[in-house]
Chains A and B, each alone.
Chain A
Amino acid sequence: MIPELKKPISVSKAKVLLPLAIVLMALAFSCTRQAEEKDPVDRSTIKIGYFGDLTGPNYNFGKSAINGVLMVADEVNQAGGIRGRRIDVVIEDDRGSPEEAARLTAKLIDQDNVIAIIAGGTSGNSLAAAPKAQSSHIPFISPSSTDPAVTQAGDYIFRACFVDSFQGEVMARFAANTLKAQKAAIIFDFNSPYGRGLTDYFELSFAKFGGRIVSKQSYTQGDEDFKGQLSSIRAAEPDVIYIPGYYSDVTAIAKQARMIGLTQPLLGGDGWDAPELWQLGGDALNGSYITTHYSVDDPSPAIQMFVESYKQRYGNLLPDAHAALAYDATRLLVDAITRAGTTNGDKVRDALAQTKNFPGVTGLITINADRNAVKPAVVLKLQDAKFIYQETIHPQIATPSPSPSPSPTKKRRTL
């Protein structure tokens, strides 16, 4: 009996697998389109979509950002919601992949019926997601995509941060005027639009301030050994070294730079601004300067209140720039929905576009005609596991222009 039984078993196994596959397909295709119309006066929740790098090399950006978004949602809900409607945040993880970001945008809009999306920690992901948000007329706010191209993707695409051109220019100005640097070296992530953007604008502005780039080296994210590039930088004897990368790579570069005897100040951008920076980099980072969106040490009451409640919520964690930007992006959206008095995508978009002097924790935010946030940048000094506030640099004519034409005379410095 037993050997005879064997055959039918293997047959049934194959027969189980195939229907299983068919059922999988059927499951995926069988759902019907949901009705999209909403009651004019409803008490339903307002759904906001979020996706970002919750896993992957820059997972910290996503983690911080989601903290910021959820904090606004809770604050608004505790205060009774927007005109009585609660906010619900739908969270997805894009694993840092542009392809995934595009798919998630479709999913959030179509399956979860979100009325707006706050997403795209990195510029590549925002660019991939933009066409879908644009064609569905869903406002899309990127908290931290600094590539100028992002908001050019359509008139439903906004950002809550300054653009690369402004940040590169601010650092060049700081290096030339405050640090009195004459010669600068650059080492940048070749694959990332962020690194390349900052490099281009730093180079341009630094030359305008009378400085000279003596060495320009590149790496790609995930590289382990930077000694070759750093050695040629050492040979060029720069006054400062600009490293516009993300924290995971930057810390390795900083350590190896100190190892081979480079003692110059290292300069960086908001990609450095993560709580993990000190764990990974340690003392090698002492004496470095970064440009970023805000400082937790800023004495202004709005910032201190934000920092306090963030610390309370997330177990004494200090909010980094990504948390603050996501917080501001979400509040910009809440403000726009409140002003529009509806969740209709077109109306919310119009309200967002009209935002003027919105008091965010990262400064007064005005949305300009290119849907970019016009706002100040701060320079911080890194010393003994602390970010020490140096100065705030304001844009004056209010357009950090996306074209490579940084004009130093337009900038007013405080402090």
Chain B
Amino acid sequence: MPTFIKRILGLVIVVFLLVAVNAWMGREGLFGFGLPYYYAEILNLTGISIILAVSLNLITGFTGQFSIGHAGFMAVGAYASVFMTVYYSDSAEQWLTSLLGATLAQSLVFLGVIIVGALVAALAGLVVGIPSLRLRGDYLAIVTLGFAEIIRIVILNIDRVGGATGFRGRVPPWDGRLIIPAYANFIWIGGFAIITIVVVYNIVNSDVGRALISIREDELASEAMGVNTTRYKVIAFVISSSFAGIAGALFGHFRQFLHTNDFQFIRSIEIIIMIVLGGMGSITGAVLGAIVITILPELLRKLPGDLYGYRLVIYSALLILIMLTRPQGVMGAKEFGISWLKRAQRRPEGDKPIGEKGVPIAQQSTSPNLDQPKEIEHR
């Protein structure tokens, strides 16, 4: 089958799956089976976590620049897009509805405000990134940490977005929507999660990605090889922050309430835990980390009686346990995919490690990454 048709087919299947899952999560359910909305809620939050983790992995895992302000960019995107929805989208939506019908109009407006969120977050990333990424070392960590806090305090002081009370719709002296519309459903969240994965995958496997990985492995050497390290670092950082902005926009329209307490330092750390747990420099690892970190605390709620009080202790202990047994993260820098499954299946019977006779050369380098002799922890 030509790649072209394969891709179209893939796209159709993905869209169909998203629509089906979304219907399953709705009030009516799918063929009489519905997903309880507590699970639907967790599924949606997992999708948002995946966007955050995979995008952070681009700058921290693949480029090796430690950013600890991802929640700040998420906040920028969330507040910017919700601000647009609440104060400036009403008339546009009415006009579009008269032209195209309600569903399409809503979708267009939502797409518009998501783009606004992404652009504003990207701009913030550019402003933060250009000065701090010129330097080598931990400066980005310090600057992003400061940025996230500054953003939070600034938002806290803008009365028009609710300030300390939180943002749930127009604030009285101003005119706008009373409550934030619940635009985001699983089609949007799941769709953007897939888009994020595809975009990051393609970046990592392009020449830009090679440059980024070379910066992670040895910045001095890659500069000596003619890589404009600042430029590539800024590119990665801006892309990463714009996806955080998208995640924020989705979060705002899903939750219908924004509060600065949800974008504190601890949120950034949570995203870092996702990629450290899943494996820095692995897209599937980041996805896995996002899933585990979002679902695990909820699963632990089911603990019986007295154990329930200790669920956060158990949660932390589990994380420590994973880090002790897999310090490079569950996936390390490897990817999990169909080719990986094929190899894993072949291994036990063959009794031969990969790369030996019996396994075609073509399958040896199916990992989308470069061959990485070093694990991240050795750096």
CB B339 to nearest CB in A, in angstroms, measures 14
The interface bits of chain A over 25-63 (1 if a CB of B lies within 8 angstroms of the residue's CB, else 0) are: 101110111100000000000000000000100000000
Residue of A nearest to B266 (CB): A97
Nearest-CB distance from A402 to chain B (Å)?
Answer: 10
Contact across chains for B168 and A127 when beta carbons are under 8 A apart: yes
* A270 at the binding interface (Cβ < 8 Å): no
Complex alpha-carbon distance, A385 and B192, angstroms: 57
Contact B165 A147 (CB under 8 A): yes
Q: Please name all residues of chain A whose beta carbon is closer than 8 Å to the beta carbon of B102 when the two chains form the complex.
A: none
**Total count of chain B residues near the partner, CB < 8 A:** 44
Nearest CB of A to B154, in Å: 12
Q: What per-residue 1/0 map shows which CB atoms of A12-24 lie under 8 Å from chain B?
A: 0011011001001
The answer on a CB contact under 8 Å between B45 and A191 is no
CB under 8 Å from chain B, chain A span 93-141: 95-99, 102-103, 106-107, 109-111, 123-124, 127-128, 130-131
Contact across chains for A31 and B165 when beta carbons are under 8 A apart:
no
A248 to chain B, nearest CB (A): 16
Query: A55 — which chain B residues lie within 8 A by C-beta?
Result: 312
Write the B80-106 contact mask toward A (1 if CB under 8 angstroms, else 0).
Answer: 000000000000000000000000000
Which residues does chain B contribute within 8 Å of A107, judged by CB atoms?
38, 298, 301
| Residue contact B301 to A128, C-beta cutoff 8 Å | no
Known: A11-B347, A15-B344. A106 touches B255 (CB 8 A): no
A155, CB-defined interface residue at 8 Å: no
Contact partner of B164 among A21, A96, A193, CB < 8 A?
Answer: A193
Q: Is B70 an interface residue (CB 8 A)?
A: no
Q: Kindly list chain A residues whose C-beta atoms are within 8 Å of the C-beta of B262.
A: 97-99
CB distance from A215 to the nearest CB of B (A): 19
Selected contact of B33 from candidates A33, A34, A127, A192, CB within 8 Å: A33
Please determine whether A128 and B299 come into contact, CB atoms closer than 8 angstroms: no
Evaluate contact between B163 and A196: CB separation under 8 angstroms: yes
Is A92 close to B, CB under 8 A?
Answer: yes
- Looking at chain A's contact residues, the main secondary structure is helix
- Is the beta-carbon distance between A123 and B301 smaller than 8 angstroms? no
Interface presence of A315 (CB below 8 A): no
Expressed in whole angstroms, the Cα–Cα distance for A227 and B273 within the complex equals: 37
Q: Which of B35, B163, B168, B296 contacts A33 (CB 8 A)?
A: B35
Question: Contact at B255–A27, with CB atoms within 8 Å?
Answer: no
Are A106 and B256 in touch, CB under 8 angstroms? no
B43–A29 touching, CB < 8 Å: yes
Inter-chain CA distance A4–B350, complex, in Å, is 12
Interface: A153 (CB within 8 A): yes
Contact of B39 among A31, A92, A130 (CB under 8 A): A31
**Interface residues in chain B, defined as those with a beta carbon under 8 Å from any beta carbon in chain A:** 29, 33-39, 41-43, 45, 156, 163-166, 168, 179, 182, 255-257, 259-262, 288, 291-292, 295-296, 298-299, 301, 312, 326, 330, 336, 344, 347-348, 351, 353
Please list the residues of chain A having a beta carbon within 8 angstroms of any beta carbon in chain B.
4, 7-8, 11, 14-15, 17-18, 21, 24-25, 27-29, 31-34, 55, 92, 95-99, 102-103, 106-107, 109-111, 123-124, 127-128, 130-131, 147, 149, 153, 190-193, 195-196
8 pairs of A and B residues whose beta carbons are closest in the complex: A110-B38, A193-B165, A33-B34, A98-B259, A193-B164, A99-B262, A131-B256, A106-B41
**5 A-B residue pairings within 8 Å (CB atoms):** A21-B292, A33-B33, A103-B42, A124-B166, A127-B257
Given A11-B347, A130-B257; 6 other pairs, CB 8 A cutoff = A21-B330, A28-B298, A96-B261, A111-B36, A131-B168, A193-B163
